[in-house]
Structures are given as structure tokens and as C-alpha cells.
Structure 1
């Protein structure tokens, strides 16, 4: 886990580089948003829908705390893949993540998330289109002042505003994908080995 978010996303991006049908925002909504991005809830929902551990999980570091899942009924390799688990932020904060990857059109993803969230996104310093909010999944409160907040500011905001959620449209070598993370009031720091 000490390798952090950047390495995990780079490996997942390579793992997801497969041609297939367009990514569905509905998949992201169903497994990442409707579960609040809580890894245990997301994995349970994926299992109930028949998704299984994706063979591309073998490309992840041995100490990774994320699981790659896909629906074997859609082909091999499956066109969509979910990444669910915990990653360490740059300061070591344990961050639950839920992401859906597959071929997609960035403008369509932005339109769909904006329609779901009910507010326009901001652009992060990394260049990612981002929706930062508290509440959800049925009612979200924009928290765009936190788009580039560090871990300490996010934790402080979570204590006063409730869990802070972030949806981002990120781009990897395989194309754009949807990424959800959150910081809860009780977020903890991962131990370093």
C-alpha cells in the first residue's frame, strides 16, 4: 500500500486497456454511488450481480488493498472492470475507492455525472473534472471549495459537514474512467511497513 494511489491507478489503467463496448454510467452509479463507495457494500453488490474477481488482478502489487472485479458473462476479458478497496493518500490516509473502467467518451461521462449530481463540476489541479460533495446518494450538497484540499482539510470538513465524497473523471492510457473516493470523519492513517 505504501506505493499509493499513483502506482495503483497506473497498473489498473494498463489492466483495463481492452477494446469493448462503451462504459456505462449506470454501472458506476449502481456499484459505486448507490453503495456510497463503501468497499464492503460495493463488493457485495458486485457479487450479487454475478461479478467475480477479474483475472487482471494478478497485475496488482501483492500488498494491494484493492480488488478488480468484472462480469464474466460479458466476455473475456470483460469490457468493464470495477476497482474497489482502500488506497493510501499521499499522507497515508486510508481512502475507500470505487471505480469503473472501460472504453468511454469523457464528455458523456461528464454529462451523466453532472445530471446525477445536479451541479457543475470543477477542475482539480491535476486536471481532473471533479464533483466534491457531502450527503448522497439521493441528495448531494456541493462542496467545491474542497476540490484541491489536502487530507487535513478534508478530515476537518468531514467532521463538520459529514463524509466528503469525490467523483472524478480521470484519464489513463486506456481512456477516461470514473473514480469515487471519500473521506469520513473517522478516517485513519494506514501503517507504513
Structure 2
């Protein structure tokens, strides 16, 4: 049996790690004196002010209701719906807002769950969020499968997210091996 050169799961985890080190814009919703982690002082945070933090540092502060995602960086079921419709209606692979867009969807699900758990949003919003995100992923996956049987043009490659580049590379290689196995005489 054929073995992939690199574990796709590990590659996706690496990309997600890079995403979590990207900065996001947050707003303080409760005064907090701050704390020190890994010899780095975080805070103090003042209610009403905006702060740009690495995603992984913002998560515990968001979970503890000190910060919230700023409107400019938020991603909820309405945003997911807009992207799902746009992706569905376009036959070509669209370039997304960021090479880490799919990671953003994955990670922002945490905030949707939190909003539902504290009663800020109805559970139907989370269900819609999950449904729209599945539509985005499935639409892009179908387009990637079509692309994987051909030579990627530079413009096609530019439209891929980082995780999609890994996937299409592996799929293309497997399809070529499988296709050549049946088409070439040995």
C-alpha cells in the first residue's frame, strides 16, 4: 500500500499552531490587572479599550469574560452563511480572506459554543454555524478534488489556504500513482 510522505494530521496541527500565534483584535469587557506568563507581562486591561493579542493568549482571557473578539475580527453564523453561499455559487475556487481562514473557522467555533452556553446566542445559531462551515469545507473539497487531477496554475495555487495546499499535494500524488498504475503497462 502507498504511504503518504508526511502525516497530514501533523501538518494541519502545525498550520493551526501558526494560526494561533497570529494576532487578533479584542476589546476589554472587564477591568483586569493582568498577569505574567513565560516571563512576559500581559495586561493590565481596561474596560472599553482594544488590544491586539496573539490568539492563543487571548483565548483564556475571552473564556474568563475579560476580553471579547472585536467586531472587525469576529466570525459567527452570519459570516459563515455569507461565505457558504459565496462558495456554493462560484464554480471556481475562491481566494479566502486569509491563508488561515479554515483555521479561523475551526477556532472560532469555541466562541460560538461559549456564546450559546452563557445564553448570549440561541443554540440554533451554533447549529447554523456548524452547518454553514460544513458547506464551506465540502464545497472547497469538491473544487480541490477537481483541481487535483490537473496541473495547478499559479492563480489556482494562490487561492488555496495553507492547509489546502498540503491536501491537494497529497491527493494529486495519490491520484497520479493510482491512475498510472492502471494506464501504464508493466
Name the structure where strand makes up a greater proportion of residues.
1
Would the TM-score normalized by the shorter structure come out above 0.5? no
TM-score calculated relative to the size of structure 2: 0.24
TM-score calculated relative to the size of structure 1: 0.23
Name the structure where helix makes up a greater proportion of residues.
2
